[in-house]
Structure 1
Amino acid sequence: MARIAPPVAEMRVAVRRALTGFPPDGLVLTACSGGADSLALAAAVAFVAPRLGLRAGLVTVDHRLQDGSADRAAAVARWAGEAGLDPVEVAAVTVAGRPGGPEAAAREARYAALADAARRHGAAAVLVGHTRDDQAETVLLALARGAGIKGLAGMRERRPLPGADDVLLVRPLLEITREQTHKACVALGLHPWSDPHNADPAYARSRVRADALPALVAALGPRVVGNLARTAGLLAADAAALDGLARTALAEARRGGPGGGALRVRSLSGLDPAIRSRVLHLWARELGAPGTALSQRHVSALDALVVDWHGQGSAYLPGGIAVRRSGDALAAVTTDTEVDQTG
């Protein structure tokens, strides 16, 4: 029996662990750009999924941002079909006109396409190829932004897919290095594409990848990448525990409160600030404030209605939502209603 190259075996073990537990004959889709990380992941899924009784397909997203992108997407799709993946789909998206910077706009377009494909094909999960190196970069970027514990917790191994909450977004490779994915591709005879955007200094992540993280490795040693990723895992566990406490506190604040969507100030004011801010964040999301636009500034404005209220007017949230305090109650109205009442 031919010996399996260690990087290939490591990829397959990681994928097997991620896919164990899905119902038999369920469909999982791999998002594949044709880069080394996602290509090595797709090859591992093509091998492992049938042995677990699962069906495996692939979606490659053409962002149409570079010359030749349609040809590259078609090449990925041809390879996927030859590898036994089915269904295989090329999703062409439009990035221009979406909110945020170019990275955020491309990410939003990509996840919208993945969610659409997952819903149409009835997939249980979409797998993406983020590695331990990506996790370390994410932590550094979060530190630079002054993020809280959720930002420093980095990328979760499993979470609902944005735009399709009943589908899991799974990252099997968070313990696998970028070097391992490249070696797996070499061992399997795969020829990944190198996205020039990944080396473009116009993007913050590219600068972290090319300069900041290598400087830390040079100063502190090669273990720094794994340590940053490990920190994210530890903080993710802490964040999950705090979020659980916040959900309980949110339910308590509603209990007996006036109106179905109102919260009792007395219940909120006695909470530890770390819990109260999470309660208010969860509540704001329930009210319809989009997570991509909801910031600490908005949560702080809600918090001021609880602990520093001196008769001030409403706090405003993204999505056209105003929150007003009246006595012991916090309640939300649309900004149109707010204008009508005060105009």
Structure 2
Amino acid sequence: MTGQVRLPETPAVLAVRRGVREWVAARGGPMPVVVGLSGGADSLALVAAAVVEAGDVTAIVVDHRLQDGSGEVAARAAEQARALGCVAAEVVAVEVGRDGGVEAAARVARYAALESVRGERPVLLGHTLDDQAETVLIGLARGSGGRSIQGMAAWNEPWGRPLLAVRRAQTRQLCADLGIEPWEDPHNLDPAYTRVRVRTEVLPLLEDVLGGGVAQALARTADQLRADGEVLDALTADLLRAATVGVDGRRGSDRPAGTTGNRGSGPGDSDRPALSIEILATAAPALRRRTIRAWLADQGIGGVLNAHLQAIDELVSNWRGQGGVAVAGGSRDHRLVVTRAHGTLTVRAQPRNDAT
């Protein structure tokens, strides 16, 4: 390490260090890591603690080039990282598109940049308990389903989040304890962004009305739902494996491990894996719908609306001779349709003027 700063043993410093230490221990001990650094208090605190607790730390500052002077902000953050003891600090400039809005496009560009430079190292991100609470609350308000209100995981390879039990006030205090001046992103105060209003208006109101502890309660809820989700994911994988029928006519449980049938891409797609109606029909409805969603995702079909998922489920549970259900994907001339045929659910590519 280079010129590591000796950290004072203040409550804030110890809290942040504890979060990083426990995350590192759960991954098997010290290791080289990359830290995504914005220059804000959360990521600066993460860098300071990671240098002490994780091993060799490389800071990567992504310059989105969306604001005047962003290059100077990025260069200053890299300089601060080197002063804290990082073995390297690099600025990566990116082009931000417009798909899904500027905020979403910036996130896509940022993660792609971090992925491109990390090598085999995990990437640590400075999301805190407050970020987790905001994520859960927004997901809950949007009715996005159980997975969205599971929040962020501490480890979702290659992304690590050691500070999910640390409050934002503690990261700010660590910077103050070290005499570091973090960058204040003006976007974090712009009420045009939903998350900003949740942070500055909604959560404080809930804390006031409910007597405090709301952020911690939301984070606990995410942890509990994530644990439940892991069990459901395992059950879903078992049902998917049992119900999958490939072009060889054998079900998933009869085929060699690691094979789920071929995936076609042309009209007809007769070689796509299908699902046995008989096996699906015996499963609990919630598990059956999760399995259908996983089956579609395995074929590259995402973004399935709940209404479409319900309609597909009714091809199994409430069959009345209805036609297939169109899903995302396909081509200019053909669209993908989930149909029931010969005792299976199958994804077919049908001409758009003939698809139901």
TM-score interval, smaller chain: 0.7 to 0.9
Question: Which residue is equivalent to 2:301?
Answer: 289
CA distance in 2, matches of 1:85, 1:296: 46
- Tell me the CA shift for residue 25 of structure 1: 7.6
SS of 2:232's partner is helix
Residue 278 of structure 1 aligns to which amino acid in structure 2?
R
Question: Which residue is equivalent to 1:332?
Answer: 347
User: Which of 312, 316, 327 is matched with 1:306 structurally?
Assistant: 316
Q: Where do 1:1-343 residues align within 5 Å?
A: 4-20=9-25, 22=27, 26-50=31-55, 55-97=56-98, 99-118=99-118, 121-123=119-121, 125-160=122-157, 168-254=158-244, 256-257=250-251, 260=261, 261-290=273-302, 293-320=303-330, 321-333=336-348, 335=349, 338-339=350-351, 342=354
Deviations 1:266-296 (A, max 9, x none): 1112211111111111111100124xx3433
CA distance in 2, matches of 1:340, 1:202: 39
Native 8 Å contact 1:325 1:331 kept in 2: yes
Native 8 Å contact 1:27 1:122 kept in 2: no
SS of 1:20's partner is helix
**Which ranges of 4 or more aligned residues in structure 1 deviate by more than 4 Å?**
21-26, 340-343
Percent of pairs identical after alignment?
42
CA distance in 2, matches of 1:313, 1:88: 57
- Tell me the CA shift for residue 312 of structure 1: 3.5
- Tell me the CA shift for residue 330 of structure 1: 1.4
Residue 34 of structure 2 aligns to which amino acid in structure 1?
L
Deviations 1:125-166 (A, max 9, x none): 111111111111111101110122212211111113xxxxxx
Deviations 1:202-230 (A, max 9, x none): 11101101110000011112211111111
- Tell me the CA shift for residue 319 of structure 1: 3.0
CA distance in 2, matches of 1:296, 1:112: 29
Residue 179 of structure 1 aligns to which amino acid in structure 2?
A
SS of 1:251's partner is helix
Q: Whose relative contact order is higher, 1 or 2, with alpha carbons under 8 Å and at least 6 apart?
A: 1
- Tell me the CA shift for residue 21 of structure 1: 5.1
Higher helix share: 1
CA distance in 1, matches of 2:64, 2:227: 34
**How many residues end up aligned between the 2 structures?**
323
SS of 1:88's partner is strand
SS of 2:159's partner is strand
Larger Rg: 2
**More displaced 10-residue stretch of structure 1: 72-81 or 279-288:** 72-81
Query: Relative to structure 1, is the Cα distance of residues 270 and 2 closer, same or farther in structure 2, using a 3 angstrom cutoff?
Result: closer
CA distance in 2, matches of 1:210, 1:342: 51
Native 8 Å contact 1:257 1:329 kept in 2: no
Query: Relative to structure 1, is the Cα distance of residues 109 and 58 closer, same or farther in structure 2, using a 3 angstrom cutoff?
Result: same
Residue 179 of structure 2 aligns to which amino acid in structure 1?
G
Residue 159 of structure 1 aligns to which amino acid in structure 2?
N
CA distance in 2, matches of 1:126, 1:289: 28
Native 8 Å contact 1:284 1:317 kept in 2: no
Query: Relative to structure 1, is the Cα distance of residues 298 and 26 closer, same or farther in structure 2, using a 3 angstrom cutoff?
Result: farther
- Tell me the CA shift for residue 122 of structure 1: 2.6
Question: Which residue is equivalent to 2:3?
Answer: none
- Tell me the CA shift for residue 3 of structure 1: 5.4
